[in-house]
Structure 1
Amino acid sequence: MFSGRRPLLYSFQASLPRLPVPSVDNTITRYLESVRPLLDDEQYNQMEVVANDFKRDEAPKLQKYLILKSWWATNYVSDWWEEYIYLRGRSPIMVNSNFYTMDLLYVIPTHRQAARAGNVVHAMLQYRRKLERGEHAPLRALGVVPMCSYQMERMFNTTRIPGIETDFVQHLSDRKHLVVYHKGRFFKVWLYYGGRHLWPSELETQFQRILDDTTEPQPGELKLAALTAGNRVPWARARLKYFSQGVNKASLEAIETSAFFLTLDDEAHGYDPDKLRSLDLYAKSLLHGKCYDRWFDKSFTLIAYKNGKLGVNAEHSWADAPIVGHMWEYVLATDCFHLGYTEEGHCKGDINKGLPPTAKLQWDIPLECQEVIEDSYMVAKEIADDVDFHGCLFDVFGKGLIKKSRTSPDAFIQLALQLAQFRDKGEFCLTYEASMTRMFREGRTETVRSCTIESTAFVRSAQRLDLFRKAADKHQNMYRLAMTGSGIDRHLFCLYIMSKYLNIDSPFLKQVSSLLKPHHIPHLQQVLQP
C-alpha cells in the first residue's frame, strides 16, 4: 500500500481480517433494542424473558460451535448465507431474488441495437480480461481501507444449476462464446477470432445477422427460458429428464457454459419524460421481461432493446449488487467515452466479412417437456403480473444539499422512509437496509435495522430538528457497527442454523426467524428439519 506500486485487484486478499463473531450479550441487547418500537409493553416483556432464557440456556453451546467454525472457515457467515438463503430456496428466483441494473437514463449513444450491443459486449470482454489478470484497482472504503474482491471472481462464465434439494453455482475458466436470445431463438456467438477478442464492429455484424434472421422458433423453444423463471424443482427434474442427452444436452450446455447471456429484445424501453409510466415499464422489463426472454440462472443477462437502450438482470447467489455495479460503470464509461460510434451510429472499425456465421442452437423438446415449460411460465407470469412498480425521479435536491446540512444522505433517506411509512399506514414496521461487510475476507452484507427508538420518536414528534439529528446519528452509528462486524442479523442467522444442525429447539430463535426479511428465511424450517 505504501510502496508506491500500483496494487493488483487481489493484492490485499490474504491480509484482510476474518469476520468476528459478536458476543451473545451484545447481539441480544441490540436485538431487543431494535424490536422495542414495534412491540407493546406486554409483547416486549415476553420477548425479553424469552431472550434472557436463550442467553442463559441454549446460546452458550451454539456460540461455542460458531466460534469454532469461525476459526476454520474463511468467513463464518458467507457459505451458509449462499447455501440457505439462495441456493436451497425452491421458489422462483425471478423477482424474488434476481435484481436489475439500468442504463444511463438521459443518454442513448446510438439507437442501433446491434451496434450498442457490440460496443458493450466488447467492453465486457475487456473488463473480464482485466479481471482475470487482476488488473482492476482494488476497491477501498473511504479510499483507504481495502475491501474483499472475492465476489468478482464469479462474474463471468458462471451459471446457477438447478437441483432437486439445492442448486449449485457452476463457475468455469475462460469461455469463448456467448448465447444470444432473439424472438424465441437461441444463437451461439464466438467471441474470439484469430486468437483475439472480436472488435465491436465485428460483434455488431454478428448481432445484426441474428436480428435479420427470420426463421421461426423450434417447438418448445420460444418459452424455454421460462424454466429458469419458475419453481426450482420442476426445472431440476426437467433438466435431468429432457436435457441430459442429444441435441438438448449440447444446446443447454452451450447456454450454461457461455461467458454470459445476451437478449436482443424486440421491445423499446427507457425513460421518457413525456410518458408517465416509461420508467415503470423499463424497470419491470429488466426485472422479469416476458418471463421467458432472460436466462435467469446465468450470472447476468445483458438486455439490449431495439431502441439502443440497455440493462442487466443479475442472479443474486454469486454476488451482491455493488459487484455488478462496478462492472456496469466500467462498461458504460468504456462504451460512451472510449469506444464511441460513427456519425451513422455504427461501431467504429472495419467490417470483417470473413467471420464464421452464428450457430442456431438445436432443440428436440417433446410435448411433455413443453407442458412443464408452460407450467413454469404460468407460475412466473403470475409473479410478474403481481409486481406493482412505480419509479419517481426526484430532482429538487440531492446528496450535496443534505451533506451541507451536516447529515448523512443515507440516514436522511431512511428517516424519510420511516416518516412516509407512518403517514401512510399509521404504524411502524421492521425495516431492512443492507450494508456491506467487505472489509472482511469473503464478506457480503449485514442488516441495518433502520426503524429505531430514535427514528420513531422523531416521526411522532411533528419532526423536531433535535430529534432528527439524534435519529440520524443513531442510524450512522448502526451502519458503522454493521460494516465493522458488529451487526446482529447475520449472527442470529448463524445461531439459528447451528441450532438446527445440533437439534436444539430455541423459542427465541424461532421468533427471531419469523421477524427476519420475508424472502430470506421461508424455507429454513423445511430444509433444516432434523
Structure 2
Amino acid sequence: MAEAAVVGAFGGSLGGLPPEPGPLKHLGRGILNSAPRRLRRLGALVRMFAGRRPGLRSLQGALPALPLPPLRDTVSKAVESLQTLDPGGMGSELPPLARSFLGGPGPQIQRWLSLRGWALPSYLSELWEQQLHLGARGPLPSTGSYYLMDVLGPPPSRLPAARAANVAFAFLSFRSLLRKGTLPPVLLQGSLPTCSAQYERLFGTARIPGESRVPDSFFGVPRPPWARARALLLQGGGPSSAALRLLEAAPFVVAFDPSPTRGDPSPTRGDPSPSHGDPSPTHGDPSPQNGAPPPEERDPPRDGDLDAEAKALLLGPPHNRWFDKSLTLVVFPSGRVGLSVELSWGDPPVAGHLWEFALAMDRSLGYDQRGNCRGGSRGRSAEPPQELQWNLPPQVSEALPQARLQFQALLRGLQLHVVSLEPPPGPPEFTQELLGLALELALVRERGPALTYEPIPTRLFLEGRADGARGVGRPLLELERALRDPETPRGRRRALLEAALAQARARRRAAMMGAGLERHLQAMAAVANQMRLRPPFLAEVLRQPWALAFSPAPRPHPPLLPHPLQPAGGGFNPPHQDGYGVSFTGGGGAGPVLVHISCREGSPKTDPRLFSQRLRAALGELGELGELGQLLGGEG
C-alpha cells in the first residue's frame, strides 16, 4: 500500500486530457461528449444556472458521488492487465484466484463498499487517506512529498528575501480569495464543475503523528518515535511547545536553503549546522561571473542542468524542512524559488494552481532596479522576525544523530535527472499522449513487459482524488515488436500506434469517469483488512510492483503565466526500489519537453541517464511514424 501512496503523487492536471475532438478523431468525441449522460446534463445545467461569476464552492453541491465500479469489471481488468505482462506464468494463475474471489469474499466486500457509498459522500471516504496516505510505511521525504520548480530562465530578482516576500504575499492573496469564496471554480472543458474540497486544506495543514499508525517518517525517523518526541515537546510546555504549535498552525513554511551543489549535498556527521556545501561560482551565485548564467538558469536548459536544484527541492537539507507541513516555499541564494508539497492532504493539480498563481503574481508585482519589492509600508513598519526557541528534552535530542544518518542515506540513495527533449509536432495534448506511450515503450525495451501507473484526477465527483490507469497493453507490445522487425510495413506500424493510443486514452477516460481500477482494488483490500480477510486474489494483484509511474506536471488550464513563461515542471520519488518516477512538462509550441526522472541508487534495473536515452529514441521513432497530420485528422 505504501507504493500506491507514492505513485499517486502526480495526478495530471484536469485539462491534461485531449479536448474535443481529440488527437485522433476516430477515438471518440472528447471527454465531455463521451461522459455519462448525467454528467452531460450537469454540464448543461452549469452553463445555464451558474451565473457569470460562480465561486469556487458554489457548484460543490451539484457534484455526483463517485460511482462504485462493478466487481466483475474490476476483477476482469486486473486479470487482463497482468496476463498481458506474463501470460504463461503469473497470468495463468490469476483466473482460478479470480473465480475463487468472485465466489467467495468478493461480493461481501463489494456490499460493504456499496453501503459506505450510500452513507458517506464517497465509498472511498477516509479509506484512501487513512489507509494509503497516512498509513504509508516509507519516510516522508522519500514517499510522501513532491516538488514544483520556478519559471525557466533567470529569476526576476537576485535577492532571496525579496522573492520570498513577493511569493509569500501571492500565497496569502490566494488564501484570501479562498476564504472570501471569490476564487473562480475549476471547470473541465469550461462547463463541468470539479470538486474543490481539497482547497480547504491547502493552507495551515500538518500531519499529526500517532503511536497507532504504521511507520512512515519525519526527518527519516519512523513515525512512532516522532509521535513520542512530539508528545514530549508539547507536554514540556515552554518555548518548544510554542514553537511546535506555531509551525503546525502556520499557513505554510518558508525555507531559505543553501545553494544546491552538484556533488553529494549531505552534511558531514560532525557539522552542527548542516549545509549543502559551498556555492560554486557558476551554481547558485547571486551574481554569475563571466557572463554565463548558472546551469539552472539556462533557457532552454541542457540535460542535467536542473538535477541539483530538483534534488534539493525534493529532499532538501534536513535542518530546515518540516515534511509534515502541506506547503514549504523554498528560496535559494540565487533568488530562484521552488515548492515542496506534502501529499496526503490533496492532489498536485491544487498545489499546481496555487504555484502558477503565485509565480504569475510575482511577475505582476515586480521589483525595482535593485531587486527589492515595490510598494511601501502603508503607514506602519514591518514587525521584526522572531526566532523560534527550542528546548529539547534528552529523549528528543538523543534521537537526532540517528535521524540525520537515516536522512543522509535517503539523500545518497536517490538519483534524479532532468532532461530536455524535442517535442513532436502537434498540440500539447498529443505530445503528452505520445510521450506517455514513449515512456512505456522505453521501459519495455529496457526490461520487457512491466506494470506502469498513470494517476488520473477524479475530481468530477464529490471528494474525488485520483485513480490510476495501468499501461503496457497488448497493442503497445505488438507495436514494440513491429518496430524491431524491419519487415513490418509502415502502415501496420501506424495502425498499431493508433491502437495503442486508443487503448491508453480509453483507460484515462475510464479512470476520470469513476470506472478506474486501482482505487477500487485498494478500497477492497482496505475493507478486507478491516474484516480480517486475506483474499489471495487481492494479495497477488496488489503485490506486483510498479516499474514506472508517470504524469504530466500539474498546470492550470488555461495557464496563468503569460507566454512564453512556463515553470520548469516538478517531480516525485520512484514508486519502487527498481522503478522510475517520471514527470514532464512543456511541448506543443511551449519550448522543449522537460522530463524529470527519479530512481533509487544501487538498483541493478534502473539508470536515469540510460532511460532518458531510450526515451529520446522511442519518442523520435513514434514521432516519425507516419505523417502526424494524418494521425491528427488533418489538424496541427
TM over 0.5: yes
- Correspondence 1:122-521 to 2 at 5 A: 122-166=169-213, 227-244=218-235, 245-267=237-259, 269=284, 271-273=296-298, 277-336=304-363, 338-351=364-377, 354-394=381-421, 396-397=422-423, 401-403=425-427, 408-425=430-447, 427-462=448-483, 464-515=493-544, 517=546
Query: Letter of the aligned partner of 2:325 in structure 1?
Result: K
> How far apart in 2 are the matches of 1:275 and 1:485?
39
> How far apart in 2 are the matches of 1:228 and 1:373?
9
Query: Letter of the aligned partner of 2:452 in structure 1?
Result: T
> How far apart in 1 are the matches of 2:328 and 2:220?
13
Shift of residue 377, structure 1, vs aligned partner: 1.7
Change in 2 beyond 3 A, CA 1:410/1:450: farther
Change in 2 beyond 3 A, CA 1:243/1:375: farther
> Corresponding residue for 2:554?
none
Shift of residue 106, structure 1, vs aligned partner: 1.6
Query: Letter of the aligned partner of 2:366 in structure 1?
Result: G
Does 1:65 pair with 2:57?
A: no
Change in 2 beyond 3 A, CA 1:253/1:383: same
> Corresponding residue for 1:53?
100
> Corresponding residue for 1:194?
none
> How far apart in 2 are the matches of 1:41 and 1:364?
61
> How far apart in 2 are the matches of 1:160 and 1:365?
21
Shift of residue 402, structure 1, vs aligned partner: 3.6
Shift of residue 343, structure 1, vs aligned partner: 1.4
The farther-off stretch of 34-43 and 7-16 is 34-43
* Structure 1 unpaired stretches of 5+: 169-225, 523-530
Shift of residue 353, structure 1, vs aligned partner: 7.1
Change in 2 beyond 3 A, CA 1:276/1:510: closer
> How far apart in 2 are the matches of 1:500 and 1:293?
37
Do the aligned residues in 2 keep the contact of 1:430 with 1:451 (CA within 8 Å)?
A: yes
Do the aligned residues in 2 keep the contact of 1:78 with 1:444 (CA within 8 Å)?
A: no
Shift of residue 50, structure 1, vs aligned partner: 0.7
The SS at the match of 1:377 is helix
The farther-off stretch of 1-10 and 109-118 is 1-10
Do the aligned residues in 1 keep the contact of 2:305 with 2:418 (CA within 8 Å)?
A: no
> How far apart in 2 are the matches of 1:57 and 1:429?
29
Change in 2 beyond 3 A, CA 1:146/1:326: same
Do the aligned residues in 2 keep the contact of 1:91 with 1:232 (CA within 8 Å)?
A: no
Q: 1:19 aligns with which of 55, 60, 66?
A: 66
> Corresponding residue for 2:131?
84
Do the aligned residues in 2 keep the contact of 1:229 with 1:296 (CA within 8 Å)?
A: no
**Number of residue pairs aligned between Structure 1 and Structure 2:** 458
The SS at the match of 2:417 is coil
Residues 423-480 of structure 1 deviation map (CA, whole Å, 9 limit, x = unaligned):
223x121001100100000000101001111111111211711101100011001100
Query: Letter of the aligned partner of 1:66 in structure 2?
Result: L
Residues 106-162 of structure 1 deviation map (CA, whole Å, 9 limit, x = unaligned):
241111111111111111110000011111111111222111011011011111111
> How far apart in 2 are the matches of 1:6 and 1:107?
36
> How far apart in 2 are the matches of 1:440 and 1:140?
12
> How far apart in 2 are the matches of 1:227 and 1:471?
42
> How far apart in 2 are the matches of 1:123 and 1:381?
33
> How far apart in 1 are the matches of 2:93 and 2:381?
75
- Correspondence 1:518-529 to 2 at 5 A: none
> Corresponding residue for 1:30?
77
Percent of aligned pairs with the same residue? Answer: 32
> How far apart in 1 are the matches of 2:395 and 2:106?
51
Do the aligned residues in 2 keep the contact of 1:111 with 1:307 (CA within 8 Å)?
A: yes
> How far apart in 1 are the matches of 2:105 and 2:545?
20
> How far apart in 2 are the matches of 1:272 and 1:465?
39
TM-score by length of 2: 0.69
The SS at the match of 2:543 is helix
Do the aligned residues in 2 keep the contact of 1:228 with 1:297 (CA within 8 Å)?
A: no
> Corresponding residue for 1:187?
none
The SS at the match of 1:360 is coil
Do the aligned residues in 1 keep the contact of 2:98 with 2:537 (CA within 8 Å)?
A: yes
Shift of residue 489, structure 1, vs aligned partner: 1.2
* Structure 2 unpaired stretches of 5+: 1-45, 261-283, 285-294, 485-492, 548-573, 578-636
Do the aligned residues in 2 keep the contact of 1:227 with 1:377 (CA within 8 Å)?
A: no
> How far apart in 2 are the matches of 1:465 and 1:42?
31
Shift of residue 397, structure 1, vs aligned partner: 2.4
Shift of residue 42, structure 1, vs aligned partner: 4.2
Shift of residue 408, structure 1, vs aligned partner: 3.5
Shift of residue 26, structure 1, vs aligned partner: 0.9
Query: Letter of the aligned partner of 1:147 in structure 2?
Result: T
Shift of residue 368, structure 1, vs aligned partner: 3.7
The farther-off stretch of 44-53 and 302-311 is 44-53
> How far apart in 1 are the matches of 2:156 and 2:437?
37
The SS at the match of 2:133 is helix
> How far apart in 2 are the matches of 1:410 and 1:36?
27
> How far apart in 2 are the matches of 1:521 and 1:458?
26
Query: Letter of the aligned partner of 1:285 in structure 2?
Result: A
Query: Letter of the aligned partner of 2:70 in structure 1?
Result: S
TM-score by length of 1: 0.82
The farther-off stretch of 345-354 and 326-335 is 345-354
